[in-house]
Amino acid sequence: MYDAIILAGGENSKEMFQYTPQSYEALIDIAGKPMVTFVADALARSRQVDRIFVLGPVAELADCDFPSRTQLVESGPTIIETIRIGMRALGHNRPVLVATADIPLLSAEAVNDFLAQCGRMHADLYYPIVPKEVNEHSFPGNKRTYVRLREGVFTGGNLFLVNPGIVEQCALVAEKFIAERKNPLVLCRMLGWTFVIRFLLGVLCLADVQRRVSELLGVRGAVIQSPFPELGIDVDKPSDLELVRATFSLRG
């Protein structure tokens, strides 16, 4: 069994305010419920998830209807600090599942499949990717950020399995990436020019990406190919919100 952390402290974007009055992304209304509750429900239905920690604005989240084994924890000023807080709340160093609050289409089946695949390899950080054709088959026309690799075209997921012991060393690198995110020259130097050029040419393979991430973070990383597109459908722009609301409407 795994404990899970949901990152629910992100503020709503200006672009989204014209579609929803909520101050926090996690509280956006989907089919009459705050978005974060769908993520918590999916995790709770998984046969492999035990406790669920929701990190965000506790006063606002207290009005949400969460599964019984959910605990609310006040988030930090940044996503990195929030992850640190979440890891401290666990009280152990066993692998923990980390999810964002903006994937309301998440299913227990997707969670179970991801964890089952993680169990077949040994790593400190597991990250899911979804093939473009899988996403297009279920959600045709949905706009996502895709990366072309030798094995195909993929989009990233929003569910991670993490060894809490690596958080501090990874946080230092992550903070540097965030600080330099608008400086392509510095980012290229961090990644390595050979890696960047091979990426631009589309000749990198999954093993190359996995190896480079592991080198940068100083941990063992593993990329998991998921057949569940809901891992990559995050609500961060109006078209995503329309898609998710329409999907729930069709489900009745």
| CATH number (domain holding residue 221) | 3.90.550.10
Report the mean per-residue pLDDT for the chain.
Answer: 88
pLDDT of residue 74: 97
Dihedral pair phi/psi, residue 100, rounded to 5°: -85, 160
pLDDT of residue 33: 94
Domain count, the chain: 1
pLDDT of residue 172: 77
Of the candidates 48, 58, 25, 206, which has an alpha carbon nearest to the alpha carbon of residue 198?
206
What is the Cα–Cα distance from 70 to 64, expressed in whole angstroms? 11
pLDDT of residue 204: 84
Predicted structure pTM score: 0.90
Of the candidates 160, 158, 83, which has an alpha carbon nearest to the alpha carbon of residue 117?
160
pLDDT digits (tens, 9 = 90+) for 101-149: 999 999 999 999 999 999 999 999 999 999 999 999 998 878 888 888 8
Residues 222, 118 contacting (CB under 8 angstroms): yes
Report strand pairing: 125-131 vs 96-100: unpaired
pLDDT of residue 78: 87
The SS3 of residue 174 is helix
**110 token code pair:** 């997707």
Range of the domain at 201: 2-251
Q: How many Cβ atoms sit within 10 Å of the Cβ of residue 170?
A: 21
Q: Which residues of the chain have pLDDT under 70?
A: 177-184, 186-188, 252
What is the Cα–Cα distance from 33 to 7, expressed in whole angstroms? 17
